[in-house]
Amino acid sequence: MTREPIKILLVDDEEDFVEMLSLRLKAVGEEVTPAHSGKECLQVLEQRDVDVVILDVKMPGMDGIETLQEIKRRFPLVEVILMTGHGTVESAIEGKALGAFDYLLKPADFNELMEKLEAARKKKAEQPSRLRQKN
Amino acid sequence: MKEALRLLIVDDEEQFRQVLVKRLSRRGMVPEQAGSGEDCLDLLEKKPMDVVILDVKMPGMDGLEVLQRIKEKYDKTEVILLTGYANTQDGVEGIKSGAFDYLSKPVELDHLAGKIKQAHEKILHEAEREREAEFREKMEQRMVAAERLASLGTLAAGVAHEINNPLAIINDSVGWMQLLINQGDAAEIPIKGQLEKGLDKIVQSVERAKKITHQLLGFARRSDPIISEVDLKQLAEDTVQLVEKEAKHKEIEFMLESDPSLGKIWSDAYQLRQVLLNLITNAIHATGSRGRIEITLQKDGEMVVLAVKDTGQGIPQENMERVFEPFFSTKPTGEGTGLGLFVTRGIVEKLGGVIEAESRMGEGTTFRVRLPRAHKGDERSEQEDHTNWVEKPTATTGKMPSAGKGPS
């Protein structure tokens, strides 16, 4: 497979979930960095090049929506897929309005997740280059 | 609103009875007559009475005994005793046994008419109180049911959420293992087939549990309907198309009949499709091979009536009251979640409608949904619960504000 791996940052306070989804994504050839809080997520983004963030909505401390806002403010090129155990219309609409690429309900279908990851990466690659200078 | 008074005079003296009948009739009270206690009881057997005027001193069964029998059998009937002159003893005895009152002979007609009226009023009053109590009880039951559903919704959403997380872990663990046993050395191990079988079962079970939790979240959804013009006939045709494959298998015939004057209605197309899909799928499951499913759309004043009729087995009476309950299913374990009709009713009520079922054993079942043609429930109060759930957020993507275009 000559395909470029998608650089994924997986953020969820549920450690087992982060571990197992990371293993699965790595097993299909993606590059995954784990994080367990919004704060950690932002720290990773400062240090690494990331294509897509998979972001849990409900986390203690800085929640997914707050984290999303910070990501979009400081790293506008990075795409975000929100993921949660329950979907609320408000957070879905809010998330979209705040620039999230899409929204998934746990347990997510792996193929669906892969499609969204691929689409999100494609979108990121198509961003006008002038945006790359921003931040 | 006064109901006609059913009055009976019981006295062994015929002449006395005739006089009373004549005089009372003149006042608009037309009594029936009986010449003895035995006759009185026979008559009551056939014809219930409101008020009985009962002579105490009679040959055969005396008034006090008749009174006791009346009170034993017809507790709503009021009895006015007629006692001998100055015989208060019998009167007191009678009141103890449940008589409304007693009058001593000779009877003064005004007095008697007054007593009859009082007795009648007491009966009407009691009936009114009974109706009120019945009504109150019904309302209370309904409130309890509504509260139970509301708290069930909160609980269900909470449970579903808590279960989705571990389900996601199981799901990704098993997906990872499935990848592993097909890689490198693992692909060679002799028990690979057995491992795969076990892993498949886990995947299927996660899928099954996920169906339930996601449906529960759908049930707890309090989101506002997205109202637009809906062509119900078109929607029904589309939905039939969705399930046609399954129906073809059983050679089920579909009939769609729509009132030509129906036009479009204002409602939530997405949620109505869910209703149609649930009802039609149920109908397919209920209908045997070569059955027929009839979908009719009718205009009824401000409402539209959507009926889905199948030619299945029918629903036994004892199940009729339970079909809308959550987790009630007659399908084999694992096949039905028991939430379909429950969710359907939730949606219909949210859209301002009602749903009812009618069934005849051996003939089939009809589900009838009545919906307002114009939706009026648009305004929602700000205090409303803001925990809104979506079952499958991606499905509403098109309706969301376009975002993610990056900062400008």
DSSP string, B346-380: HHHHHTT-EEEEEEETTTEEEEEEEEESS--TT--
Q: Is B162 an interface residue toward A (CB < 8 Å)?
A: yes
Cβ contacts of B393 on chain A, cutoff 8 Å: 87, 89, 92, 103-105
Q: Would you give the DSSP letter of residue A68? A: H
Phi, psi of B244, rounded to the nearest 5 degrees: -60, -35
pLDDT given for residue B170 in this prediction:
97
pLDDT given for residue B186 in this prediction:
80
Task: Return the sign of the alpha-carbon dihedral for residues B193, B195, B198, B199.
Answer: negative
For residue A43, give the nearest of A67, A77, A12, A13 by alpha carbon: A67
pLDDT given for residue B221 in this prediction:
54
CATH of A7-130, picked from 3.90.550.10, 3.30.428.10, 1.10.287.70, 3.40.50.2300, is 3.40.50.2300
Q: Is B403 an interface residue toward A (CB < 8 Å)?
A: yes
Amino acid present at B122? K
In the block, which residue shows the tokens 């014809």?
Answer: B47
Task: State both tokens at B333.
Answer: 């374990």
In the block, which residue shows the tokens 């097993």?
Answer: A27
State the span(s) of chain B assigned CATH 1.10.287.
140-220
In the block, which residue shows the tokens 């889905």?
Answer: B308
Q: Is B184 an interface residue toward A (CB < 8 Å)?
A: no
Closest residue, chain A, to B388 (C-alpha): A88
pLDDT given for residue B344 in this prediction:
86
pLDDT given for residue B201 in this prediction:
95
Chain A residues within 8 Å of chain B (Cβ atoms): 14, 16-17, 20-21, 23-24, 27-28, 72, 76-77, 79, 85-90, 92-93, 96-108, 110, 112, 123, 127, 131, 134
Q: Where are the domains of chain A?
A: 7-130
pLDDT given for residue B404 in this prediction:
37
Q: Is B164 an interface residue toward A (CB < 8 Å)?
A: yes
Asked whether B345 and B355 are in contact (CB, 8 A), the reply is yes
Give CA–CA dist B298/B305, Å, rounded. Answer: 5
Instruction: Write the ipTM.
Output: 0.85
Which residues fall within 8 angstroms of residue A95, CB to CB, at 6 or more apart?
Answer: A57, A64, A65, A68, A80, A82, A103
Domain range B7-107, CATH class: alpha beta
pLDDT given for residue B401 in this prediction:
37
Angle at CA B290, nearest 5°, toward B286 and B292?
A: 65
Following DSSP, what letter does each residue of B80-106 receive, concatenated?
Answer: EEEE-TT-HHHHHHHHHTT-SEEEESS
CATH of B228-379, picked from 3.40.190.10, 3.30.565.10, 3.90.660.20, 3.10.20.440, is 3.30.565.10
Cα of first residue to Cα of last residue in chain A, in angstroms, is: 34
- Let me know if domain B140-220 sits in CATH 1.10.287: yes
**Weakly modelled stretches of chain B, pLDDT under 50:** 1-2, 222, 377-408
